[in-house]
Chain A
């Protein structure tokens, strides 16, 4: 009955001056859809205006500092892209931080202890991440266990595997040609300047982001992703292979978490089983700030990238000002709440 009522009301509603109203609605919608972009610009401007100065130079805009900002958040950003896919289908992946740790350990152990080459190591570690995501996706989609539970368990399992594999301790990566040394190529990740300016981790993040954006905008698969998040039952009845899509989405997330783990190991010259502790929450935060609905079906990688950058700039800004670390946590918490609150205000249909 209710549906009947509302639709009839909608039908009977006199149309307002259409063109103008519609433009306004579209504008407001765009504002909300890309809230993190606007938020990023705002935070960036604040960071510039209130930047600490040194001999007249705005320290925030210092090339090294900007490189630091993108480098520091590239791992979270890579994970957040994968997380966006999972959240778009209405899921969540709590295991990414632990998978990052597992991948970091794997990179170090394979190269240092087992004398694998860079390519072999990267391929194996990415495959591990992919397979881990695959198992979680199967458990969640096929057996109908909630993603939250599955990945909570996955988080513990990945952490445990990392501890076992590493013997409970960080495995240091030394570079060289000898046994027990990692190929020098891998140190590219750690030497944080590519052409003198762009850090390689940021470059990897950029590539991941661009591929994901294009993929999510144009592929048939992405349509299925959005449809499942929007209305899973309808998607299933419309012939969307729901189980398969969900499993693939978890694979993507695991794959990207492993990629972030490789980057992590490269940046810190070590794979430690404790690496990535709590990173999943930062990744989720980036996605939420990016305007992706935790209910699924709505959101974008563009938003997530902006959300991650926003967090990065915020971290850097607060750090540069020497704000009390505890207060920093408060500020970040508030930003997340505000971002989520803004989405509530977003006009729904």
Chain B
């Protein structure tokens, strides 16, 4: 069993840059047969890139990868699969309309002698595979009918059917119920006994303590620590992950908060239709005052985004309970348009999906929320429009050639500023921000923090949802921590630090570690 001489996977000196930004810097990583190796690190630490290299998704890198002692260089994921490396992605690549068995054999269907698909054998083999995973699932059920956890297990069965020697699991439990997590762990023990090497990416310290043998911590593209999980403490791991001193650029302001703009008491939403992967508010209380930046923290799936969307009137349809007081009056979220009119603005999570029309001009994107306000008799006066665009882009220091350029040509940070500017033009009193610095480089990040500070200075209340601990602790005055759709703690960042936030995020029952967004999104 102990195969230290010739590890199953050996990655040596791996480096990879994206246009000047180093994602991986001289990383070494070994995985032995029958071992679960946890990979830890904050958003952007380089975990994904490293695993993409191992699974053949990223091909131009420096360093060497060996599988079973033999150096390999994969040209495509299919190469890696052939060599026995399988990756289970966070977003599952299953076809909902096909059955479990069909999904598992997708692209390499078993045939009869007449070259037709051999359903009987396919289902038989699948049943065997599922049994090996300890799951009782009918192979003939469409995958779309399965719960997320079951789907997760199907992908594992699929990996098994490929005779995978190395299995990469990226946050496999983030969407699972406790029972399903247990089931998953049984499968993992089974695999380990069969000699499969597993790379396990997770942020739940309790899980890692239970099933991992070793852990490697990445930060800013480098290995910063390696642990034997038997003598690893959650504090030590967290420190290694967060590492850097809290940057001074965060807290430059000291505003006296003014009157309350938002007070939410016991907010809960019963959706008309259950949507998978969503954690609707289930008892949230918080308050935001003018000039104050309040953070919303919590694990992935704790309901941060859903809270903002519900407040803004852009969440799931359903029955709201609890009370929302906005500017001192009861507020019923009815839709983005009404919210904007009332003075509440939202910078959504993914600017490409929910924020911008990339092929339209900077100008069109910037004024979108106010075109009908600046219009006279339905027509938009050019001068008034370009005036507004020039003013706000200058104010936000958006780097652009001309306001007629397509917004998709701007860098990520500047795109984000356009969304930001659009919302500021509506002159809000409350600004909801969801992961405003995701995918934004460090320089732009600092600028956005500064803009946030300025907005607060002008008396705007800010509610900032983020998965970055440093951001929450550094930028916010207070942080409300969510867990399972409830607000479980409120921290004053003048006294509490990132470690406290971590601890609070773990909560009681579902002990877990860092707040982490989908790095692979």
- What residues of chain A have their CB less than 8 Å away from a CB belonging to chain B? 1, 3-5, 7-13, 18, 22, 218-221, 223-224, 226-227, 229-231, 233-241, 297-298, 348-349
Contacts and interface: CB of A to CB of B under 8 A. Distances in A.
Given A219-B380, A238-B422, A349-B409, A233 B337 contact: no
Contact of A11 (B49, B354, B359, B412): B412
A271 B330 CA distance: 57
B21 A8 contact: yes
B509 interface: no
Contact of A220 (B348, B372, B409): B372
Contact of A18 (B44, B339, B354, B401): B401
B340 A239 contact: yes
A1 B521 contact: yes
The 8 closest A-B pairs by CB, nearest first: A230-B357, A7-B412, A349-B408, A12-B19, A9-B19, A4-B439, A349-B406, A220-B375
Given A7-B415, A231-B356, A236-B336, A226 B348 contact: no
B356 A236 contact: no
A46 B14 CA distance: 61
Nearest to B339: A239
A106 B367 CA distance: 43
B141 interface: no
Contacts of B380: 218-220, 223
Given A7-B413, A234-B355, A236-B336, 16 more contacts: A4-B438, A7-B411, A8-B20, A9-B18, A9-B19, A11-B413, A11-B441, A22-B401, A219-B379, A226-B360, A227-B364, A231-B353, A237-B346, A239-B337, A239-B426, A349-B359
Interface residues of B, number: 57
Given A7-B439, A233-B353, A236-B314, A223 B371 contact: yes
B10 to A, nearest CB: 24
Interface string B508-521: 00000000000111
B162 interface: no
21 contacts: A1-B520, A3-B352, A3-B439, A4-B439, A5-B19, A11-B19, A218-B380, A219-B379, A220-B379, A226-B364, A227-B368, A231-B356, A233-B354, A234-B348, A234-B354, A236-B314, A236-B335, A237-B354, A240-B337, A348-B359, A349-B359
Nearest to B341: A239
Contacts of B350: 3
B262 to A, nearest CB: 18
Contacts of B340: 238-239
Contacts of B352: 3
Contacts of B19: 5, 8-9, 11-13
A127 B237 CA distance: 70
B20 A223 contact: no
Contacts of A227: 357, 360, 364, 368
Nearest to B385: A223
A223 B415 contact: no
Interface in B381-413: 401, 406-413
A134 B362 CA distance: 32
Contacts of B358: 230-231, 349
B412 A3 contact: yes
B406 A223 contact: no
Chain A binding surface SS class = helix
B337 A241 contact: yes
A234 B419 CA distance: 10
B456 to A, nearest CB: 22
B336 A231 contact: no
Contacts of B426: 239
Contact of A237 (B341, B355, B407, B409): B355
A10 B411 contact: yes
B107 interface: no
A233 B19 CA distance: 30
A227 B441 CA distance: 27
B22 to A, nearest CB: 11
Contacts of B18: 4-5, 8-9
- Residue of B354, B356, B415 with most partner-chain A CB within 10 A: B354
Nearest to B404: A26
B48 interface: yes
A11 B19 CA distance: 8
Contacts of A22: 401
Nearest to B412: A7
Given A3-B412, A8-B18, A221-B378, A234 B356 contact: yes
Contact of B441 (A8, A224, A233): A8
B409 A10 contact: yes
B390 to A, nearest CB: 17
Given A220-B380, A223-B364, A239 B406 contact: no
A298 B406 CA distance: 12
Given A9-B18, A297-B359, A238 B364 contact: no
Contacts of B519: 1
A235 B314 CA distance: 12
Contacts of A223: 364, 367-368, 371, 380
A226 B19 CA distance: 33
Contacts of A10: 409-411
Interface in B41-63: 44, 48-49
A243 to B, nearest CB: 9
Interface string B5-42: 00000000000001111000000000000000000000
Contacts of B409: 10, 349
Contacts of A8: 18-21, 411-412, 441
Given A220-B378, A221-B378, A237 B348 contact: yes
B487 interface: no
B71 to A, nearest CB: 26
